[in-house]
Amino acid sequence: MLYVELGRTGLKVSQIGVGCWQIGSRSWGWGAEYGEEEVIQAIRTAIDHGVNFIDTAEIYGGGESEKIVGRAIKEIKEKVIIATKVWPTHLTYDNVLKACERSLSRLGVDVIDLYQIHWPNPFIPINQTMRAMERLVKEGKIRHIGLCNFSLKQFIRAQEVLKREEIVSNQVKYNMIEREAEKELIPYAEKNKITIIAYSPLAQGLLTGKYDPANRPRDYVRRINILFDEENLKRLLPLIQLLKEIAGRRGKTPAQVALNWLIRRLEVIAIPGAKRPAQAEENAGAADFKLTDDELRIIEETLRNIRIRKTVSLLKIPLRLLRG
Ligand SMILES: NC(=O)c1ccc[n+]([C@@H]2O[C@H](COP(=O)([O-])OP(=O)(O)OC[C@H]3O[C@@H](n4cnc5c(N)ncnc54)[C@H](OP(=O)(O)O)[C@@H]3O)[C@@H](O)[C@H]2O)c1
């Protein structure tokens, strides 16, 4: 496993973490084909393979994800760094404090290592939210503050209103196909020693190579993800083919190649979601090799030639949901 410092905190975090949206969200969007015991074992397997970073949120499964994470780490709390998130409807001063208490209780911990704001809320002044976050640090309920899905302007504003603490991380959507964060957020983070936490690092499973136009996932989350549109899956076939070729040559899997591409080029933490122990083990195995310059160049060339459709006609949405 590879480890990087979280911001300037001194905490060493594994570059592969476990994303826990799936955990607890079985009937809430990610399908129902996996069970609670499997997801608990997935977290423990990841930890056995050197992963120490677990990312969840109060919203995942309406609190179910935090509860299951709590069960999974009960005996090994000292081995893990727990990150959770407060939902944007809870960003007033009092609501942040209350939301944090609920998360602590569901997780069964005394302190949350990284408390992140899940999405900005333009209707609640950010200084109010950040005052509450600083109070939580002072009271020892959270160790560090992170943000997710903030634009650069919103991020800088949130930093400016903090009096004592620094924002240590920025969680953004980042994978081979979705690279918007490279424009502003990643350069800013690198310059200011803020850790980038890459969510959807496998493009919600697309980069594992198991989906194609004839075999699309049927769960709700991915039925509304434009990447899984039939036309896009067709356009992405050359990339999937390449990932399979590289994986075959290196004795790895396409998922491991896609994750390695993220963590070897930059000091990011990738948090693939895992439904089963085998997936968690495979994802942890993405850290123990290094793509060559040639492989990186060919990946880049292939990506340059792929154009993704970014929008779907409004008329098609109900149809897409019905068809799956
Ligand atoms: N801050 C935010 O707003 C935000 C937003 C989204 C996600 N997140 C966080 O980021 C985490 C990961 O993002 P994500 O869940 O969107 O997408 P992801 O990690 O790119 O994809 C996860 C899905 O890929 C499949 N998968 C994972 N490992 C695999 C493997 N080794 N082999 C084959 N399939 C594999 C699994 O689904 P199947 O087996 O069904 O294909 C899994 O549910 C989430 O769990 C959450 O913690 C945060």
Residue nearest atom 48 of ligand 1, based on CA coordinates: 199
Nearest ligand 1 atom to alpha carbon 55? 47
Q: Specify if 318 maps to a domain.
A: no
Question: Is 24 inside any structural domain?
Answer: yes
Q: Whose CA is nearest to atom 26 of ligand 1?
A: 205
pLDDT exceeding 90 applies to what percent of the chain? 85
Rg of the chain over CA atoms, in angstroms? 19
For the beta sheet containing 142-148, the strands, ordered from the edge strand earlier in sequence to the opposite edge, are 18-19, 53-55, 81-86, 112-117, 142-148, 167-173, 195-199, 269-270
CA atoms within 13 A on the CB side of 84: 33
Q: Which residue, 319, 189, 204, 209, is CA-closest to 255?
A: 209
Output the pLDDT for position 22.
87
pTM score, whole prediction? 0.95
Q: What DSSP designation does 215 have?
A: B
Centre of ligand 1 from the C-alpha of residue 200, in Å? 5
Instruction: Enumerate residues lining ligand 1, CB below 6 A.
Output: 19-22, 30-31, 55, 118, 148-149, 171, 199-205, 208, 210, 217, 255, 271-275, 279, 282-283
* Contacts of 120-124 spanning 24+ positions with Cβ under 8 A: 120/88, 120/147, 120/149, 120/150, 120/151, 120/154, 121/88, 121/89, 121/91, 124/88, 124/91, 124/92
Give 219-279 as a DSSP string.
SHHHHT-GGGSHHHHHHTHHHHHHHHHHHHHHT--HHHHHHHHHHHHSS-EE--B-SSHHH
Hey, CA dihedral for 73, 78, 83, 86, is it positive or negative? positive
Do strands 12-14 and 3-5 pair parallel, antiparallel, or not at all (unpaired)?
A: antiparallel
> Would you state the pLDDT for residue 34?
72
Average pLDDT over residues 283-290: 96
Domain that holds residue 122: 3-214+253-290
pLDDT digit string (tens) for 294-305? Answer: 999 999 999 999
What pLDDT, on the 0 to 100 scale, is given for residue 26?
60
User: Residue 324: its pLDDT value, please?
Assistant: 34
276 is a domain residue? yes
Position with higher pLDDT, 38 vs 171: 171
Ligand 1 centroid distance, CA of 157 (Å): 30
DSSP helix/strand/coil, 209: coil
- The answer to the question of residue 316 being in a domain is no
Q: Judge whether 219 lies within some domain.
A: no
Within 8 A by CB and 6+ apart from 240, the residues are: 207, 209, 212, 254
CATH code where residue 128 lies: 3.20.20.100
**pLDDT tens digit sequence for 117-165:** 999 999 999 999 999 999 999 999 999 999 999 999 999 999 999 999 9
Marked catalytic residue, from 3, 34, 60, 211: 60
If you average pLDDT over residues 77-94, what whole number do you get? 97
Residue 15 in domain: yes
Count the domains in the chain.
Answer: 1
Task: Please check whether residue 239 lies inside any domain of the structure.
Answer: no
Pocket test for ligand 1, best of 200, 207, 211, 276 (most atoms within 8 A of CB): 200
For ligand 1, what atom is nearest to the CA of residue 203? 20
Q: Is residue 244 part of a domain?
A: no
Using the mean position of ligand 1's atoms as its centre, give its distance from the Cα of residue 132 in Å. 30
- Structure letter (DSSP) for residue 26: I
Q: Any catalytic annotation for residue 199?
A: no
198-248 pLDDT, tens digit per residue, is 999 999 999 999 999 999 988 888 888 999 999 999 999 999 999 999 999
